[in-house]
Structure 1
């Protein structure tokens, strides 16, 4: 199930693989968000910022939704 132009469906690495990296969309915007979050986490000035904690919670919720999408996709295939 590859993502094609005009088709917003995600592309997963393997059927049944539920690791975090396999569940993330393989598009430039997602890679950009992941790299920005990693940069924010690695900066000591941002580690205690309250918004970083909120971003982490939102990221976790996003990953839970992707896991659910993966389960639905496997069931519907």
Structure 2
């Protein structure tokens, strides 16, 4: 299965427990590449088949796969 890059949004009511959400995401298989604590965002990558488990973590409000802008690629 392929790894996908994504952004995890931490629910506003869980911002005070941000480290706990990050740890649960790691346990679900997320390789954390960046933590943006002030805005409640975690960036990383995960095996595609583990995506549903990641989205089901308490405190996670959304999981957004990275989108590639083809217009910016060289022809």
Normalising by structure 1, report the TM-score. 0.26
Normalising by structure 2, report the TM-score. 0.27
Determine which structure has more spread, i.e. the larger CA radius of gyration: 1
Q: Which structure carries more strand by proportion?
A: 2
